[in-house]
Structure 1
């Protein structure tokens, strides 16, 4: 993503804001760089880069880390780096079987968290739990750090009351979630700006902002939790879609499972969510006599090389292969990033089997995408949520040049 000149609908203030964020992105990707390095990378003049660096230093977003001598004439160059203490964000991840709230710094490092492995309770109960946890985490920041607090990110699956039969979950509690705006509730309860996204997009944003996105601008992101979620990154930005559902791979139609543990497909046919998910793995392990109370039980079964895990892997790959090739026909991205709520080698095993299957079923004149292990594992959802205020406050999105308030893409109630 290059520095952009003024165009229709833009003004000089918006351009300056865009270039400031572009410099932050270049530093995030490089780790550290000199003023000259940043001027070249962002295609800015020495005068422009000097003014930007001064402002970012005044805002405590970047710091000097010493001198570098490149062997040429002249004074050694001052090296710059993002300041981890430059901003803070809190992320709230609500999943059908867990609640997690996490505090991170500007570098994406977790500082503290609160987590519950429970079936998601009624919205009022969840709000009380999350509000308490947010206030406890905020109390860990001193006054200067509180002044650099970017906001709260909320990540949760859309349509929580749907597909409950496929996920073996009770309808009574989850049906209530489809009738509340939990982000608005949370913002009113805390008085803090809340940035809401579905959990797949949030995890993809974490990869874009803090993970593989530091090296690549285009990828499909897949995350295996109780269900399967996803997100799409193109041109260094994420694709949201008109309803926020771009990358919602869970609803891709697939063939029926060959596992005896799989439920009978409904009349409308089978979906990827039923086969390539940790809920499907837990169901198959239970049918094999291995109860799964928490994700760690499924992880232990993989470590023990229980044959049911291998059977599920083969079935998941059988479903993922045509789903990914369908996505590639539409997106044409070179990389698929895969991550999961459990690991201990499970993700790498899935990647190995899936790579072979994608190659074996490649359409004529097409190469399979490269498969990459995600950066955050079970923390992806929570860090993804906490990344939302960081991403919308500090990422060089092209929408900055089109309007003065690009943060309004998530919630109309979030201050610009």
Structure 2
């Protein structure tokens, strides 16, 4: 399995486009990544895992402890000679981040700690209102969640992660949504408006990429470095993780599986495409399931309605599931052929027992259709379910502030801060 490697054996050094401060910062983040994956480790464990000298690892531990990002949790008695080793772990209250999941069918805001635990949340299940109203809802929710932190902890907020489809005004016919609600969103820089309303740095990403970052930072990514991520929500989102880092693409839309071409749906409830081909979100999305549960009515079943339909074994759910698998299989096969990733992680906004069935059937379909001399990728369930979107958003300031990303070595760009100290090379918004 490929792992991101630290640079230099002493925490300092020089290289093209890099300097000792950048190398030191990169190696600090390597140490944080090791602790995130291992849960706890001694100084000697960290030195071995990071390939750093005792002096270098000691200086990094001292710096991270001073910043409140790691803490001691006791001694390890392994029966050997000498003093028992002091064990270290991430400090859960060492940093905090807000996450805003802005979707066509709802708004959710969460506050998480450095360990990825949700401290508080506020959710609104509704068709997205006009931008001014939505920004005001988010502002009030963030002000309310602020009260869950002490004044000292509020100074450790790394920013707001914003996860949203980059084109909220698109694909409305396929999703059965009213155009008048969404067209204004294509004229608004949501991240800039949210920064102005909250006075906090905003880290904006495609919603599928954000959910993939949560999986990388807090879920399967703790032991897997390469995977294609799919999230089945009102639409379907995707993200790509390679070599332990997120792949954004030129416009931030890498792994945008929603627009992958597929054959038209066989369901009578599906809208007819304008041409020979349709796109994946028309078939493999909860919007498609909702449309099939209430065809021709204009009604959109809520998340709880969909889960009830799944639990009640309504035949429409099985019909949609057949159509969904039929569309997902060639999409995943194409992604596997292009990217050569060994793993596909699938998560969903609802469950009710449906997701395990979907995964089992998708794995079987991929194996049955694998071409000669090629194996099918593994299919695994994601870690967070309906929390993936909001946690993905909240992961963004944590990820860009504390992950050992290669761009650190070529110089930082825009920075977030903890206690006023810049610690991020946040990517520019699109």
Q: What TM bracket, shorter-length normalisation?
A: over 0.9
Q: CA RMSD in A?
A: 1.5
How many residues are matched? 412
2:406 to 374, 384, 398: 398
Distance 1:178 1:268, change over 3 A: farther
**1:292 shift after superposition:** 5.1
Q: Which residue of 2 aligns with 1:382?
A: 390
Q: How far apart, in 1, do the equivalents of 2:345 and 2:81 lie?
A: 44
2:420 aligned residue: none
- Cα deviation for residue 60 of structure 1 reads 1.0
C-alpha deviation, 1:288, in angstroms: 10
Spell out the pairing of 1:4-403 with structure 2 (5 A cutoff): 4-5=7-8, 6-267=14-275, 269-287=277-295, 293-403=301-411
Moved more, 341-350 or 38-47: 341-350
Looking at structure 1, the residues matched to 73 and 95 of structure 2 have their Cα atoms a distance apart, in angstroms, of: 18
Larger CA deviation: 136-145 vs 372-381:
136-145
The structural deviation recorded for 1:7 is 2.1
CA contact (8 A) 2:35 2:89 kept: yes
Does the CA contact (< 8 Å) of 1:299 and 1:342 recur in 2?
Answer: yes
**C-alpha deviations, 1:70-92, integer Å up to 9, x for none?**
22211111111111000000001
Give the 3-state SS of the residue equivalent to 1:297 in structure 2: helix
TM-superposed CA distance for 1:344, in Å, is 2.2
SS at the partner of 1:327? helix
8 Å contact from structure 2 (residues 176, 298) kept in 1? no
Q: Which residue of structure 1 lines up, in the alignment, with residue 427 of structure 2?
A: 409
1 CA distance for matches of 2:296 and 2:163?
33
SS in 1 for 2:126: coil
CA distance in 2, matches of 1:219, 1:18: 23
More moved, 371-380 vs 132-141: 132-141
Cα deviation for residue 290 of structure 1 reads 12
Contact 1:285–1:291 under 8 Å retained in 2? no
Taking the aligned partners of 1:166 and 1:291, their CA distance within structure 2 comes to: 14
Q: Report the alpha carbon displacement of residue 408 of structure 1 after superposing the two structures with TM.
A: 3.7
CA contact (8 A) 1:24 1:394 kept: yes
Contact map agreement 2:169 2:186 (CA 8 A) in 1: yes
- Given that residues 205 and 429 in structure 2 are in contact (C-alpha distance below 8 angstroms), is that contact kept between their aligned partners in structure 1? no
SS in 2 for 1:409: coil
For 1:291 and 1:163, the matched residues in 2 are separated by 17
Q: In the alignment, is the contact (CA less than 8 A) between 2:163 and 2:390 conserved in 1?
A: yes
Distance 1:314 1:221, change over 3 A: same
State the secondary structure of the residue aligned to 1:184: helix
Q: Report Cα offsets for 1:174-208 as digits up to 9, x if no partner.
A: 01111110100010111111100010000000000
* Conservation of the 8 A alpha-carbon contact between 1:321 and 1:357: yes
**Is the deviation greater in 278-287 or in 400-409?**
400-409
The 8 Å contact of residues 109 and 122 in structure 2, kept in 1 or not, is answered as yes
Q: Which runs of 5+ in 2 are unaligned?
A: 9-13, 414-423
Write out the 4+ residue segments of structure 1 that deviate beyond 6 Å after TM superposition: 288-291
Distance (Å, rounded) in 1 between the aligned partners of 2:353 and 2:15 = 49
Q: How many Å separate the matches in 1 of 2:38 and 2:46?
A: 10
Per-residue displacement from partner, 1:43-78 (whole Å, max 9, x unpaired)?
110000001111111111111111112222111111
